[in-house]
């Protein structure tokens, strides 16, 4: 009876295990997709999911309460690098950014392009998401973030202190009675205003770099392998060009042979003449004919 009970219970246990295994696997998949990307630096508010990025471009999650200078570098290959770079420009423009520099060089199968685009930092993740849709193969890519929150707060505090100092000097200047006092206060006031301008410039520079993020791209042509006939198309013009090049090479070889014969062809003739001369000299004279 025990054996019979075990035989009846075994199929039920196997069915329960087979049902629980897929559910656990699907639960793990949902947690991996729904969970945020692993944090690379909790203090900086920047995280990157570069373990298995889509098409080689890592996905990033940026915290809005931190001042970050975000940059990305992408090296990729494409069938038409110029068209791919134009598409990248359109993506930047569509996100409210612009193009800082663009270089397109080469022709035919040797085309290449390099460009640097700038997008609002709030749309940085969207820009990387749209760049993944470009036709091509990503060779290398990387995203970096520089946290300048503390530096930004420090500059703002120093600016506020200098502005308060400026107001104190202005109040003192209104109470100055002598020319000497006026000159001293005016000199101190000029020095403070210079420092205020410097701090304001540093703050504006950092703010501009944190408000907009830069993405540098380098795009080269995908080389067609010798056995790859799927992407190879017959081009009569290229065939004629190669045939003319082969004909020119053959004519050059024949011309080289003629030149060598003209330059060194007389040497065998000279040797032959010398051999004939020596042979005639060494030949014994014929005996005189007998006289009757």
**Secondary structure in 3-state letters for 77-114:** EECCHHHHHHHHHHHHHHCCCEEEEEEEECCHHHCEEE
Distance CA 102, CA 93 (A): 14
Residues 6+ apart with CB under 8 A from 105: 111, 112, 113
Distances in Å between the Cα of 235 and the Cα atoms of 80, 110, 217, 226 are: 17, 16, 31, 16
The secondary structure of residue 227, as a DSSP letter, is T
Distance CA 188, CA 182 (A): 10
pLDDT tens sequence for the chain (292 residues): 444 444 444 444 444 444 444 443 333 333 333 333 333 444 445 444 443 344 567 666 666 678 889 999 999 999 999 999 999 999 999 999 999 999 999 887 889 999 999 999 989 989 999 998 898 889 898 998 888 989 989 999 999 999 999 999 999 988 888 888 889 988 999 999 999 999 999 999 999 889 999 999 999 998 655 555 445 567 788 888 888 888 888 888 888 888 888 887 777 777 788 888 788 777 665 555 555 4
Q: Is 223 helix (H, G, I), strand (E, B) or coil?
A: coil
| Complete edge-to-edge strand list for the sheet that includes strand 68-78 | 98-105, 112-120, 212-221, 68-78, 137-147
CB atoms within 10 A of CB 173: 15
Q: Token pair for residue 175?
A: 């109470």
Q: Is 161 helix (H, G, I), strand (E, B) or coil?
A: helix
The enclosing H or E element of 127 equals helix 124-131
**Is the pTM above the cut of 0.75?**
no
């Amino acid at each position: 009876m025990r054996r019979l009970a075990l035989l009846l219970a075994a199929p039920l246990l196997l069915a329960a295990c087979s049902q629980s295994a897929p559910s656990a696997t699907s639960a793990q998949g949902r947690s991996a997709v729904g969970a945020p990307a692993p944090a690379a630096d909790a203090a900086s508010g920047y995280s990157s999911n570069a373990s298995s990025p889509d098409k080689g471009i890592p996905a990033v999650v940026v915290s809005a309460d931190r001042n970050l200078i975000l940059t990305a570098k992408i090296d990729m290959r494409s069938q038409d690098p110029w068209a791919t770079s134009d598409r990248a420009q359109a993506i930047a423009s569509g996100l409210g950014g612009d193009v800082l520099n663009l270089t397109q060089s080469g022709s035919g199968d040797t085309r290449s392009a390099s460009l640097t685009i700038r997008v609002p930092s709030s749309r940085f993740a969207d820009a990387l998401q749209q760049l993944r849709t470009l036709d091509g193969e990503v060779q290398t890519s990387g995203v970096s973030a520089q946290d300048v929150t503390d530096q930004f707060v420090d500059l703002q505090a120093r600016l506020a202190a200098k502005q308060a100092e400026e107001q104190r000097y202005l109040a003192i200047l209104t109470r100055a009675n002598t020319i000497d006092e006026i000159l001293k206060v005016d000199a101190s006031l000029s020095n403070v205003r210079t420092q205020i301008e410097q701090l304001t410039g540093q703050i504006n520079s950092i703010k501009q770099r944190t408000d907009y993020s830069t993405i540098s791209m380098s795009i080269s042509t995908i080389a067609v392998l010798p056995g790859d006939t799927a992407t190879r198309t017959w081009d009569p013009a290229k065939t004629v060009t190669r045939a003319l090049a082969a004909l020119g090479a053959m004519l050059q070889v024949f011309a080289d042979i003629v030149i060598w014969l003209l330059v060194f062809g007389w040497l065998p003739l000279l040797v032959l003449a010398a051999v004939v001369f020596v042979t005639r000299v060494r030949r014994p004279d014929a005996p005189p004919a007998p006289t009757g």
